[in-house]
Chains A and B, each alone.
Chain A
Amino acid sequence: MTIDVETGEKPIPPSDVAKVSPRYGEFRRVVRVFFGRKLAVFGLVIILVLILTAIFAPWIAPYDPYKMNLSQTLLEPSSKHLLGTDSLGRDTLSRIIYGSRSSLLVAIGAIGMAAVIGELLGLISAYFGGVVYQIIMRLTDTIMAVPLILIALVIASVLGGGLKNVIIALGIGMVPVQCRVMCGQVLSIKQNDYIMAARATGMGNFRIMIQQIFPNAFPSLLVVTTVGLGTTILAEAGLSFLGVGVLPPEAAWGSMIFAGYKFLLTYPILSFAPGVAIMLVVFGFNMMGDGLRDALDPRLRGVF
């Protein structure tokens, strides 16, 4: 990751000024501030564990998460099944481990899609202004007028549920945030003298956008994207809970909570355990986002 020296113009929060030696470059400063926050590092660790769990699920999981065993249904937690088994005799821990795959895939897919579309639209609208700006802003207003979970519910169920469609539904729902932040960034960046200088040297619109504006908007985008990953995982869990998310038998945390809900009185762990997983992961993304924000762009505080 390289960050343009221009971002060094941003004010460093007073509490951090003393800690930062001016000899260091911007990148070193960001790393220092980020790793100076315990919660941010804790968040980073959670996310790294999540990624490793998702990649190495088949090796970590003690059992096959899809293998039903009707002679071993609804077992209490024991040394053989650490979190017990569900109503079809599947090992809960293994299903949670595999569920990390769905969560991570949906989060990365949806945010990736939202980032590409939203940032492009935000860049274009703010750079060109005028009618283009008005049209794009009214479109984001439209999507933002409907709560994320509701619009995603409608789109996902129209498309028929499943991993791919949930990604599309949440991706569309998350476009406005990316678009708005990009737009705000570009509007302020394009006032800078170096943009005028770039134009004076005969740089075309496209090159200015890619080479001058985008790198300067990047830190803020990184922050919203990180927090957006957490939001998406929460929303995906909600959709799975309602029954339009990742479809069974595919393991997803939201649908596991729903499936366990029926056995709440007798086997509460079936609902409790996946919720803890969601909570940890979203907490990780949020804390990482907070840390990145403090390190990269304190002005973003409270935008989302």
Chain B
Amino acid sequence: MTAYIIRRLLLGLLVLILVTILVFVVMRLMQGDPLLLFVSQSQVGAGSYNPEQLAELRHQYGLDKPLPIQYIDWVNGVLHGNLGKSIFYNDDVWRLVKEHLPITLYLGVWSFIISSILGVAIGVICALRRGKWIDSVLTVLANLGITVPSFWVGILLIYFFSLKLRWLPTGGYTSPFSDFWLSTKQIIMPVFCLSLFSIASLTRQTRSSVLEVVTRDYIRTAWAKGLREGVIVIRHTVKNALIPVITILGLQVSFIFGGAVLVETVFNIPGMGRLMTQAVFQHDYQVVQAGVLIVALIVVLSNLIVDISYGWFDPRIRYT
């Protein structure tokens, strides 16, 4: 087990190194000079900068060095906790991340909790009531849930709940520590949008894997033994049906971060997704590099946790 975890951690590290190379190379293929963009935006009237100033800036950001050296400098910095400097914000990337990441994590954790509980619960209900009206209705809803674009659902929600009914604010973000009530009202719609796809895909997966398990002989045996329904459902059915569901659960982390890119734009939330989208448009290399690396790190770690948790759900799985 320990050997397995160590090997997986090493593989994860390798993947992260490949991610850094990938994003570094892709970003440098970008047309257009970020400094030129920055200078022309920050100074009144483009063209008022002189080439010397630009060369000075270029030197300051280390953009005059050869690419491999730039890469090594960057990785070296990352290993020392220095994520570089944002060209656009003229600020430490680490500080930007510290400001934006908690917001996305806060929304993401809510969304993860809500979607895992609701997704599995709805899936189990559908499977146990197979063919009944509740199953039909929920299955259709789940099929629609994996279909609708999250950002569009966000717009629908804003229209009905903010503009028409005036129940919820149209967007923005407030820390739950400064104004809990306002913060909660603000995150209801974004969290719903982020969770929708996850709830729907988990429902579909749970339903079909529970349906597969309920026909097994050991379930019949459990009924024959006279066990209570609750025990059969929880201990015998759901626990055995959860393995493929856990796989999907691991994918949710990636979906949530992907969704955050769009949902944060719709609701004007200053999270990681919004930061990275803007950085991509502003050619802000360092922010994009750091952002992608952090997202990849979280995804890789959550995949590892998922793989380890298989063993708990199914002791037959051996780690070799």
Contact = CB atoms under 8 A, between A and B. Distances in A.
Interface of A: 14, 39, 138-139, 141-151, 153-155, 157-158, 160, 230, 234, 237-238, 241-244, 254, 257, 261, 264-265, 268, 271-272, 275, 278-279, 282-283, 286-287, 301-302
Contact of A142 (B19, B30, B31, B208): B19
A142 B15 contact: yes
B227 to A, nearest CB: 24
Given A158-B30, A302-B244, A153 B280 contact: yes
15 contacts: A145-B299, A146-B292, A146-B296, A147-B257, A153-B277, A155-B26, A241-B151, A241-B262, A264-B155, A264-B163, A275-B156, A278-B149, A279-B152, A286-B143, A287-B143
Contacts of A302: 205, 208-209, 244, 247-248
Interface size class of B (residues with CB under 8 A): 35 or more
Given A150-B295, A237-B152, A242-B265, 15 more contacts: A138-B15, A138-B18, A141-B11, A142-B19, A144-B299, A145-B254, A146-B296, A149-B261, A154-B26, A155-B26, A158-B29, A238-B149, A275-B149, A275-B156, A283-B147
B276 interface: yes
Nearest to A169: B26
Contacts of B254: 144-145, 147-148
B281 interface: yes
Contact of B258 (A14, A148, A261, A264): A148
Interface of B: 11, 14-16, 18-19, 22-23, 26-27, 29-31, 143-144, 146-149, 151-152, 155-156, 158-159, 163, 205, 208-209, 215, 244, 247-248, 254-255, 257-259, 261-262, 265-266, 276-277, 280-281, 288, 292, 295-296, 299-300
Describe A's contact surface by its main secondary structure.
helix
A221 B140 CA distance: 25
A98 B280 CA distance: 29
B11 A138 contact: yes
Contacts of A143: 22
B317 to A, nearest CB: 17
Contacts of B215: 14
A14 B215 CA distance: 10
B144 A150 contact: no
B163 A150 contact: no
B292 A241 contact: no
Given A301-B208, A302-B205, A150 B276 contact: yes
A278 to B, nearest CB: 5
Nearest to A285: B147
A275 B152 contact: yes
A237 B149 contact: yes
A145 B143 contact: no
Given A145-B296, A150-B257, A154-B292, A257 B31 contact: no
A242 B149 CA distance: 13
Contacts of A282: 147-148
Contacts of A237: 149, 152
Nearest to B204: A302
Contact of B262 (A139, A155, A238, A286): A238
B163 A142 contact: no
Contacts of B148: 275, 278-279, 282
Contacts of A271: 152, 155, 159
B280 A157 contact: yes
Contacts of B156: 272, 275
The 5 A-B pairs with the shortest beta carbon distances in the complex, nearest first, are: A147-B258, A275-B152, A145-B296, A142-B18, A149-B258
A241 B265 contact: yes
A286 B146 contact: yes
A29 B27 CA distance: 50
Contacts of B158: 264
B299 A286 contact: no
A48 B188 CA distance: 38
Contacts of A254: 149
Contacts of A244: 280
Given A238-B151, A302-B208, A145 B280 contact: no
A153 B279 CA distance: 11
A158 B215 CA distance: 52
A43 to B, nearest CB: 10
Nearest to B208: A301
A142 B22 contact: yes
A158 B259 CA distance: 21
